[in-house]
Amino acid sequence: MRFLLVFLILLISCSGSTEQKSKVDIYTEKGILLLGNGTEPSGIDPHLVTGVPEHKILLALLEGLVVFNPKNNGVLPGVAEDWNVSDDGLSYTFKFNPDAKWTNGDSVKPEDFAYSWERILSPDLGAQYADMLYVIKNAEKFHKGDIKDFSQVGISITKNKLKVELENPTPYFLNILTHYSTWPVHPETVEKYGGMISRNNQWTRVDNFVGNGPFKLESWEINKALRVSRNDLYWGNSANKINGIEFIPIDNELTQDRLFRSGGIHLANTVPTEKINRYRDERPDELYEHNYFGTYYYRINTNKYPLNNINFRKALSLAIDRELIVKSILKGNQKISYSFTPPDENGYNPTTKLDFNPIKAKEFLEKSGYDVNNPPLEILYNTSEGHQKIAQAIQEMWKKNLGLNVVLTNVDWKVYLTRETQGEFDISRAGWIGDYPDPFTFLDMMVTNRGNNKTGWSNSEFDNILKNAASQISTSDRYNLYEKAEKILIDELPVIPLYTYTRTYLLSQRVKNWQNNILDTNPYQFLSLE
């Protein structure tokens, strides 16, 4: 009897003290970060991908000349341990860190960047972000085929230094270099698996990939997780406190929310709008809300009838009640857009307007000569409950205010990107996050034939204004020209802005050193798990 009593006491004691650990708890102890990463990435070739989910992954696998500073939106040394800028602002000389290595042990050399920049600028590659390097002397001419010899591009190498000559003084040039499109690929590996202009991505497979970032590619299970582990050869490992990261593709906001609440991920990339107030009340230390340098908009295919008619596009914009969308669908968590470019922390505040006026909308529709009995227009969007709600609201507004018939098409991320690139859409939902903290990153994408200008729109006055702006050293002079360009864009509406982003997401308190910033970029080597 005494033995049985002791046994029962021990059993009760053990069962009472055993608390099942969550996945976050277990992985925190292992030093592994679990990130909800939105959709399944389309790839990891830095010169071909264009999305935020891809950027988050590349931030772990590759490193450029400089690294984004999450504390002040500036830059820190990356592969380049130091650099000098000429007095006229036209040339930059980067001194390479001798400890910078590729994951196969090779040193990262200036030649690697010369190869990589020739690759993205090669016309046959078809890189949408090639224009990021147009600030470099003759880069645009090479990309457009006006010159064939890459040695004429403003890039030269001396010993362990890379010299870059610019077309004009560009105060934000270092910020441009924090964007993944300017980061290097490993030349020997790319050549081994298809060559410089190959788009088959064989070199990006797990067994082939060679990177130079703080982490290396371990595994990639489609629609399950992409895993990276600590790169022991990374030059900055003394500051790196994380052993690995799992990037988990989760399109559905509610699924991501449940996973976060149950301890399945450290970071939920989005928050269902109907739950934001609840998190504000119950878990304010895990809810992050801050300004985000981005705009949610509808992209218009101006090559198609009736969208090629400016009066028709004005009718569409005037028939949208942005205030209703922000208040009712987004629960006041975003800001109404009055311009394509968000107001800038450094003082860019465009004075453009985007009104809601159904009466004027009907007048412009009549001016366009469009017959509402024509086949319906299509709104294309990628899988997301938020995108769907907004599309449904606009569908109803255009029906109510203009009598238009609109169909909604929901496709996955890769199909969505393909259809946009090939021009197989009428109207598509879109979001643009600044590549660097300057308004030019928004306006420049709408220049004629820019890789990310998928609207087909072209305006020579707009192009010339931005070309002039690029040569201005004075911030105020540049901003004045930006505003002129902005007015043209909002008048002709190849894009219809809806709202400016406020970044809202959930982050476990186990993640330390996370910084709020307008680009929502936190290089993982600066984080820790506790």
Instruction: Establish if 17 belongs to a structural domain.
Output: no
> Do both 479 and 520 map to the same domain?
no
> Do both 487 and 524 map to the same domain?
no
> How does DSSP classify residue 476?
H
Element (H, E) at 279: helix 276-282
CATH of the domain at 229: 3.40.190.10
Q: Determine the pLDDT at residue 1.
A: 46
CA dist 518 → 11, 182, 368, 433, 440 (Å): 53, 20, 39, 9, 15
CA distance 470 to 449: 17
Instruction: Establish if 123 belongs to a structural domain.
Output: yes
CA distance 271 to 251: 12
Instruction: Establish if 52 belongs to a structural domain.
Output: yes
Q: Residue type for 159, please?
A: K
CA dist 208 → 47, 185, 193, 219, 353 (Å): 17, 12, 8, 11, 50
Per DSSP, what are the bridge partners of residue 298? 429, 496
Instruction: Establish if 260 belongs to a structural domain.
Output: no
Element (H, E) at 69: strand 66-69
User: Structural domain tally of the chain?
Assistant: 2
E-assigned strand segments in 233-330: 244-248, 267-268, 287-300
> If you write DSSP's letter for every residue of 425-467 in order, what string do you get?
-SEEEEEEE-SSSSTHHHHGGGSTT-TT--S----HHHHHHHH
Can you tell me whether residue 112 is helix, strand or coil?
A: helix
Q: Is the dihedral of CA 517, 29, 530, 508 positive or negative?
A: positive
> Do both 128 and 205 map to the same domain?
yes
Q: Are the CB atoms for 423 and 270 separated by under 8 Å?
A: no
Q: Are the CB atoms for 213 and 219 separated by under 8 Å?
A: no
Instruction: Establish if 229 belongs to a structural domain.
Output: yes
> Do both 46 and 178 map to the same domain?
yes
> Do both 84 and 124 map to the same domain?
yes
Per DSSP, what are the bridge partners of residue 380? 409, 428
> Do both 465 and 517 map to the same domain?
no
| Range of the structural domain that residue 346 is part of | 294-504
Q: Determine the pLDDT at residue 48.
A: 95
CATH of the domain at 344: 3.10.105.10
Instruction: Establish if 6 belongs to a structural domain.
Output: no
Which residues does the chain have with pLDDT short of 70?
1-19, 345
Could you tell me which of 484, 483, 32, 19 has the C-alpha nearest to residue 267?
Answer: 32
> Do both 222 and 370 map to the same domain?
no
> Do both 115 and 153 map to the same domain?
yes
Cβ neighbours, 10 Å, residue 418? 12
Within 8 A by CB and 6+ apart from 399, the residues are 405, 406
> Do both 488 and 382 map to the same domain?
yes
Cβ neighbours, 10 Å, residue 111? 12
pLDDT in tens, 439-454: 999 999 999 998 889 9
